[in-house]
Amino acid sequence: MSAITKITSQMIKARAKELGIDDVGIASIDAFDGAPILMAPKSYFPEAKSVIVIVMRIPRGSYRGIEEGTHWHNYTYYSYNKLNTIFRPRLTYQLSTFIEDHGWEACPCFPAVPERNGIKEPVAEGKLSPDIVINIRVMAAGSGVGEIGHSKVFLSRKYGPRVRLGLILTDAELEPDEIYSTGTICNGCGRCAKECPGNAIPAFKDQDKKLHVTVGGKDIYWGDVQMGRCTLTHHGFNNKISPFHKKAFPNMKFDVDNSVMTEEEAYRLCYPMATAKWMTYDDAVTDNIIEYYGYIMKQVGYFAVCGARGCIRACMDSLEKSKRIENLFHNKFYRKPSWMMTNEPEEVEEGVNQFRDRYLDNKYPGVRENEYKYKYKGKHS
């Protein structure tokens, strides 16, 4: 049986290092007293005294395939979903049990999306509606492991934007870490905005497009990202960064850059399309409209496509060059100009069903003679 013993911030950090956790920050629960009630840690665990934030790095090499335009799987698996749902939670669990071995309750919290919470009926009168979802990036900013960057992506003092975050609430009273001032890590280069393929991030100098919160008495702020454009791009509904979408919809010219769609609307469009099925032709492996999206959703249950071109890749390159972070490399990340496709169709295809016509022309040449004028990829029937 575990004894009730004292536990300190130093003990937790030492155990985290033994477990392979890359960084840990600690905050007093009081630093977040101004949090919205549906995002407040005290709404989740009223007796909590401390917040523990866990930082796990994203391997820089997991972006290499997308940067080369040759491999997408690693981004969803190692940079995003599985890092958030398998690799990091396992260590969060182990650190939580270490705290509870000392007789203090440890509440591990999954970093869900806070903007979609609170829409269910309360379980009893006087209760808040579930689910309480804490803003993990604000918690991290208050725990001394880094700051929220202009792109809203969290910037670790060690790894810059290449991190995923975990959270533990505990009733143990721990020594807090010093909170970083915004701009300590972010160098204000603006590359996140300039290189975002969805035009989702406002210009760095636009003071009217910044969001502010107070954490532990400090003003924390970041850019007011247009999350509809971000979501459309992240989930591959942007021809400029998704060869898969462009193959499935070669004539579509969806203007993500100027879209006013909200984040929720973008989710309602992207996720159903990722698993949507339709009639296939001989060049299709499955009946998924967008083959890769259906495949990766089946394998992982999530799909990330854009490769964080501006908010992570360009940002990490800038922070490495300016040496604002600790984890530096022998070789630079960008070794050639980064690719981006055009939103324009390569060639406007005429007719009713170019997929059917291409199939028939390839398999049964001449069978469509005198049907109607049709053109695709420079060929006429």
* Structural domains counted in the chain: 1
For residue 344, give the H/E element and its range: none
- 335 token code pair: 């070794």
- Confidence band (pLDDT; 50, 70, 90) for 378? very low
Let me know if residue 199 belongs to a domain.
yes
Is the pLDDT score of 367 beyond 80? yes
Instruction: Please say whether the dihedral angle defined by the alpha carbons of residues 334, 335, 337 and 338, taken in this order, is positive or negative.
Output: negative
Residue 376 CA to residue 241 CA, distance in Å, equals 23
Tokens of 58: 């994203």
Answer yes or no: is 349 within a domain.
Answer: no
Q: Kindly state the tokens that stand for 205.
A: 């100098």
Residue 381's pLDDT is 40
Per-residue pLDDT tens digits for 16-28: 999 999 999 999 9
Longest distance between any two alpha carbons in the chain, whole Å: 87
**Average pLDDT of the segment spanning 168-192:** 98
pLDDT of residue 85: 93
Tens of pLDDT along 144-159?
A: 999 999 999 999 999 9
- 113, part of any domain: yes
352 confidence band (pLDDT: 50, 70, 90):
confident
**Which of residues 248 and 147 earns the better pLDDT score?**
147
Confidence (pLDDT) at 91: 98
Residue 4's pLDDT band (cuts 50, 70, 90): confident
Report yes or no on 111 lying in a domain: yes
Which pLDDT band, with edges at 50, 70 and 90, does 164 fall under? very high
Question: Which tokens sit at 4?
Answer: 């009730």
Confidence of residue 309 (pLDDT cuts 50, 70, 90): very high
Average per-residue pLDDT for the chain: 93
Query: Is residue 196 in a domain?
Result: yes
Q: What's residue 370's pLDDT?
A: 82
**Average pLDDT of the segment spanning 35-61:** 96
Q: Which residue has the higher pLDDT, 92 or 116?
A: 92
Mean pLDDT for 129-145 is 95
- 197-232 pLDDT, tens digit per residue, is 999 999 999 999 999 999 999 999 999 999 999 999
pLDDT of residue 380: 41
Whether residue 347 lies inside any domain: the answer is no
Which pLDDT belongs to residue 63? Answer: 97
Q: Report whether pLDDT(96) > 50.
A: yes
For residue 373, is pLDDT > 70? Answer: no
Per the structure, the complete domain to which residue 94 belongs is given by: 9-321
Q: 287-292: long-range contacts at Cβ-Cβ below 8 A with a sequence spacing of 24 or more?
A: 289/248, 290/236, 290/244, 290/245, 290/247, 290/248, 291/244, 291/248, 292/72, 292/244
What is the percentage of the chain residues whose pLDDT exceeds 70? 96
**Position 348 pLDDT exceeds 80:** no
- Residue 284: predicted pLDDT: 67
Residue 3, in any domain of the structure = no
pLDDT per residue as tens digits for the range 264-284: 999 999 999 999 999 877 666
- Does 95 reside within a domain? yes
